[in-house]
Amino acid sequence: MAQILITGANRGLGLEFVRQYLDRGEKVVATFRENNDTSDLEELQNKYLNFLTLVPMDITSSDSRIKAFSKVKSKVSGLDILINNAGMTGKRELKFGDLHADHMLEVFNVNAISAVLVAEQFSQLFKEKTKIINISSWMGSISARENTTNFSYCASKAALNMFTKLLSNALRDKKIITIPMHPGWVKTRMGTQSAPIEQKDSISGMIQVIDSLTLEETGKFYDWQGNELAW
């Protein structure tokens, strides 16, 4: 039975990760921001009893990360998988000529910086061959960018990819596997209903990729179908 921590787990891709991992008998810690709607998680907790632990955590807050770590440490013996799923799109209409530093910094903080700090905070629970999965996006691929939409989101995911590569270098000797992963364009509140991929398909695909990861893949950039993507 794997022990898995998932951030941003109260809706969208995070919630579907929780569902699918619970369905196959894994032990899951689901984190979410306080005051967010957790009704779906509570329903799952009632169904899976001792297999799901709910922990409030604001990934951008040092105090919140420390409190969450203390609670998680009391519930699990270690972590086999950390999925940094929490993120934000930001204002889609922001383009060159209408950029705002405060907004850009907020997106960078949530999408890139906080993922590294969550990994650092929970590193005491890592084991040999723990897998850190940072949910990124093909929109963070520099070589694939051919438009000028959403400066903040695209750049933040590129930064997350670099942070993930650095983490993979730092943790390789401990045999910890670290990758960024593109979930595809998925039907979520962030992805909109125009997206062609269902949440269950994206998550089941990503779980298959995660299951198959070895140390040889650490630091590489994959999509939900296991295709390696260009930086």
Q: Domains in the chain, please, with CATH?
A: 3-223 (3.40.50.720)
> Which among 175, 158, 125, 173 is positioned nearest to 229, based on CA atoms?
158
Cα 39 to chain centroid distance, Å, stands at 21
Cα 81 to chain centroid distance, Å, stands at 11
| Per-residue pLDDT tens digits of the chain, which is 231 residues long | 999 999 999 999 999 999 999 999 999 999 999 989 999 999 999 999 899 999 999 999 999 999 999 999 999 999 999 999 999 987 766 778 888 999 999 999 999 999 999 999 999 999 999 999 999 999 999 998 887 678 999 999 999 999 999 999 999 999 999 999 999 988 676 656 767 799 999 999 999 999 999 999 999 999 999 999 999
8-158-54 Cα angle (round to 5): 10
> Which among 48, 15, 12, 55 is positioned nearest to 31, based on CA atoms?
55
Distance between CA atoms of residues 146 and 139, nearest Å = 10
pTM, to two decimals: 0.95
Q: Which two tokens stand for residue 190?
A: 């962030």
Backbone torsions φ then ψ of 29, nearest 5 degrees: -110, 120
Q: Which two tokens stand for residue 194?
A: 């125009």
Under 8 Å between Cβ of 28 and 21: yes
Distances (CA, A) of 18 to 10, 11, 161: 9, 10, 23
How many C-beta atoms surround the C-beta of residue 162 within 10 A? Answer: 14
- Per the listing, tokens 């000028």 go with 148
